Amino acid sequence: MVTIKDVANEANVSPSTVSRVISGHSSISEKTSKKVKAVMQRLGYEPNIAARTLVTQKSNTIGLILKTASKEITQNPFFTDVLMGISVECKKREYATIMTTSIDQHALLKEVESLIKSKSIDGFIMLYSKENDPIKALLKRYNFPFVVIGKQLDDRDIIHIDNDNVDASQTITQHIIDKGHHHIAFIAEPDSYAVAIDRVEGFKKACSQNSIKHVEVFHAHPKRDEIMTIIKNLKLTGKLPTAIITSDSMMNINLLSVLYELNIRIPDDMMTATFNDSFINEFASPPQTVVNINPEHLGQEAGVALISLIENPNILKKNTIVPTEIIERASTLK
C-alpha cells in the first residue's frame, strides 16, 4: 500500500508538503502541487479522506437539495442533466456529492439540519427556488454556504443560477401564436415554485401582447390522472385548445399519453410544446418542440459558484443567467 512517505520520497519533498498539497494549502506553489499530484497519480496513492477531514475540518463534499425525492422528480431528465453538470465540476475540483432523499418537506428539513450538524457537508446546492422556503431559512440561520438553481426572490445575498424563464416562456408562446393559434392553454406545476410562476407570467405576457382572448392556465402535479381530468373537462365543455404548452417534460409526456388515449392527434388536432430538451422529448411520438434550458450548464455554473464560495466566503456574490433556445420538432409542424 502506497503511503504519504512513498509519495514524498518519490517527489523529493517532505511528508508535510504532501499533506499540504492534499489539503489544498495556499502556502504550496502551483509547480510543487502539480509535481506531487503527478507522483500521487503515478503511484496510485489515494488520500485517506477521514484523516484529511480531521486535519482540514472540511469534507470536500457538496449536498444537493431536491424539493422532493419522489419518482416524478428523480426520474425527470432535467435533474439528471443538472446533476451531471454539477458532478463534472465537482470532480475537477476533487469534491464529492450527496443527494437528499426525503419525500416531504418536514423530513427534508430534518435531513438537511442533520447533514449540517454532522459536518459531513461543506455546502449545498438547492435545485429549486421557492417563496418562504424553510430550508433556505435554515441554511441562512446556520450561516452555511449554499447556491440556488432558480430565480432570485427576496434574497440579495444568495448566489442564484437560472434561466430567464419569463422571456423563455414568452418566446415559445409567441412561436405558437405565430402559427395562427388563438386558443392556447398552459399546464404548470403548483405555483409556489418560482420557475412555474415565471413561465406562466411569460405565457400570459405573450398572449396579452397579441390580444389572444382564449387563454387558460391550469396547475397540476406531473401526474397522468390530474392531466387526464383537465383535458377531459376541456373536451366535455367544448373548450379544447388548439395548442398546449407544459411547464416541463414530465408534464409533457403525461399529456401526450392522455391525448393519445383520447384520440387527439398531434399536431393535426393540437400542437404541443414544453421546456427542457431530453431524449424523452426528442424520441416522443411525435418528437416535441422544446425550450432548451441547458440544464447541464446550469449545474456546471452552480458547482463552480459553490466551491468558490466554500473556498473563499468573501467573494463577490453574483447571479448567472444561462441562455435558452427553441428546438422545433414535429409537434408544432404541420
* Residue 47, pLDDT above cutoff 90: no
Q: How far apart are CA 183 and CA 211, in angstroms?
A: 11
- Under 8 Å between Cβ of 306 and 145: yes
> Residue 277 carries which side chain, given as an amino acid letter?
D
**Inter-CA distances, 277 with 80, 96, 183, 197, 293, Å:** 12, 27, 25, 20, 7
- % of residues, the chain, pLDDT over 70: 95
What was the pLDDT predicted at 23? 67
What was the pLDDT predicted at 217? 95
* Residue 314, pLDDT above cutoff 50: yes
What was the pLDDT predicted at 56? 53
Confidence of residue 157 (pLDDT cuts 50, 70, 90): confident
Mode of pairing for the β-strands spanning 96-99 and 61-65: parallel
Give the DSSP per-residue string, 307-326.
HHHHH-TTS----EE---EE
Dump pLDDT digits (tens) for 6-43: 888 888 998 888 877 876 666 788 888 888 889 888 88
Dump pLDDT digits (tens) for 262-299: 999 999 999 999 999 999 999 999 999 999 999 999 99
For residues 186-204, give the mean pLDDT. 91
Confidence of residue 52 (pLDDT cuts 50, 70, 90): low
| DSSP state, residue 288 | P
Nearest to residue 44, comparing CAs of 3, 11, 77? 3
What was the pLDDT predicted at 298? 97
What's the chain's average pLDDT? Answer: 90
For residues 243-254, give the mean pLDDT. 95
What was the pLDDT predicted at 53? 53
Dump pLDDT digits (tens) for 171-184: 999 999 999 999 99
Question: Cα 6 to the chain's mean position, in Å?
Answer: 42
Q: Does domain 165-294+326-332 have CATH number 3.40.50.2300?
A: yes
First and final CA of the chain: distance in angstroms? 66
Range from 51-65, 125-139, 146-160 carrying the lowest mean pLDDT: 51-65
CA within 13 Å, CB half, 109 = 11
For residues 146-151, give the mean pLDDT. 95
Confidence of residue 118 (pLDDT cuts 50, 70, 90): confident
- % of residues, the chain, pLDDT over 90: 65
**198-214 burial by CB neighbour count: b if 16+ within 10 A, else e?**
bbbebbbbbbeeeebee
Confidence of residue 54 (pLDDT cuts 50, 70, 90): very low
Output 18 or 166, whichever has higher pLDDT.
166
What was the pLDDT predicted at 24? 67
Q: How far apart are CA 111 and CA 283, in angstroms?
A: 37
Q: Which CATH number does the domain 61-163+295-324 belong to among 3.30.1600.10, 3.40.50.2300, 3.40.190.10, 3.90.226.10?
A: 3.40.50.2300
Give the DSSP per-residue string, 1-33.
---HHHHHHHHTS-HHHHHHHHHT-TTS-HHHH
| DSSP state, residue 332 | G
What was the pLDDT predicted at 26? 67
Please tell me the CATH superfamily of domain 4-56, with its number: lambda repressor-like DNA-binding domains (1.10.260.40)
Nearest to residue 82, comparing CAs of 38, 128, 122? 128
What was the pLDDT predicted at 70? 76
CB atoms inside a 10 Å sphere around CB 116: 17
What was the pLDDT predicted at 68? 83
- The domains of the chain are located at 4-56, 61-163+295-324, 165-294+326-332
